[in-house]
């Protein structure tokens, strides 16, 4: 019998095409609701999701024939991995798919903060030619602290090096020595990284151990002129503490692509001029979406053939 695959979120067309070409039965339902999914999950062997669909323990429990949950992306926090493990369901992702897209977004956010690009755009639209108040700084020679040197952290380090930034890094596992040598990495602990960096960019997964990793105490270690960038997951920064630090002038600026609640509900951060916000755009490029869809489709075909 053909593998029955339910695609629950919008994915690049290459994924259903590859699966169908390999004899799988694909139902593409990018708008499926949680309630509907709960009713129909039992009809499928594989569930494919991005981040919109939450694969809860209840859904996993109802998906009697499910053997694989595939995430077209990196983070697995919308999938109850414990529940999947208990049911013997394999969870796969496309770990490398988004690394360049997210790293390039971080560069654009750092440049936006350094050169006040969003503010300049806003004032221009208001008919104001505000040159004096928008004197910026350069990234060249500044210290970039990267927290979490996995796929995205390393890609960012390489891009930032091309801007002649100095790279400081902290991770809980040994850091790739080739990468460290290539960028002249200064390895250190989290406290020293926060104290020494002009920009701090977070690239860790959301786990119990990383929740509120950047809280009021950690923010107080940072330079008053420093900027904090989060493109990893909301919940890693305590947003209320961040707001207080920015409002009191204890921190230079922040750029956020991810939030504790998405979309954020009336966040006071949007009232601050030194904050740049984007709506979880990290992996939102044509190239990243295509790559992740391709990687997942190939993995599913290989699993079907018993290769991996």
208 in active site: no
Q: How far is the CB of 123 from ligand NAD (least distance, A)?
A: 28
Q: How far is the CB of 202 from ligand NAD (least distance, A)?
A: 8
C-alpha distances in angstroms, 112 versus 61, 168, 241, 255? Answer: 45, 21, 22, 9
Q: How far is residue 17's CA from residue 306's CA, in Å, rounded to a whole number? A: 20
The active-site residue out of 115, 161, 280, 294 is 280
Residue nearest to ligand NAD (CB): 150
Instruction: Give me the DSSP letters along 261-281.
Output: SSS-SS-GGGG-TTEEE-SS-
Residues that bind ligand NAD (CB under 6 A): 74-75, 95, 98-99, 102, 147-153, 170-173, 203-206, 209-210, 231-233, 257-258, 280, 282-283
280 in active site: yes
116 in active site: no
Q: Which residues are catalytic?
A: 233, 262, 280
């Amino acid at each position: 019998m053909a593998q029955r695959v339910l695609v629950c979120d919008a994915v690049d067309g290459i994924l259903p095409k590859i699966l169908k070409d390999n004899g799988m039965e694909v139902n593409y339902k990018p708008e499926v609701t949680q309630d509907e999914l709960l009713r129909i999950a039992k009809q499928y062997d594989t569930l494919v999701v991005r981040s919109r669909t939450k694969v809860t323990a209840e859904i996993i429990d109802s998906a009697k024939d499910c053997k694989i949950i595939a995430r077209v992306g990196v983070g697995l926090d919308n999938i109850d991995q414990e529940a999947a493990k208990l049911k013997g369901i394999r969870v796969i992702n496309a770990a490398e798919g988004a690394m360049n897209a997210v790293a390039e977004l971080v560069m654009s956010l750092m440049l936006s903060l350094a050169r006040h690009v969003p503010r300049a755009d806003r004032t221009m639209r208001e008919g104001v030619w505000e040159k004096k108040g928008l004197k910026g700084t350069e990234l060249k020679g500044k210290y970039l602290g990267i927290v979490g040197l996995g796929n995205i952290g390393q890609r960012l380090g390489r891009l930032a090096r091309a801007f002649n930034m100095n790279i400081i890094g902290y991770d809980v596992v040994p850091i790739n020595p080739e990468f460290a040598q290539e960028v002249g990495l200064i390895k250190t602990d989290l406290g020293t990284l926060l104290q020494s960096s002009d920009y701090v960019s977070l690239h860790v997964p959301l786990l119990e151990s990383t929740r509120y990793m950047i809280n009021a105490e950690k923010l107080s270690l940072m330079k008053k002129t420093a900027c904090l960038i989060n493109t990893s997951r909301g919940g890693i920064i305590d947003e209320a503490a961040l707001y207080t630090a920015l409002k009191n002038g204890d921190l230079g600026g922040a750029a956020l692509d991810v939030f504790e609640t998405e979309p954020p509900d009336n966040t006071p951060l949007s009232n601050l001029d030194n904050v740049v916000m984007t709506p979880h755009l990290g992996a939102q490029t044509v190239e990243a979406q295509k790559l992740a869809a391709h990687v997942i489709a190939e993995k599913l075909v290989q699993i079907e053939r018993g290769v991996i």
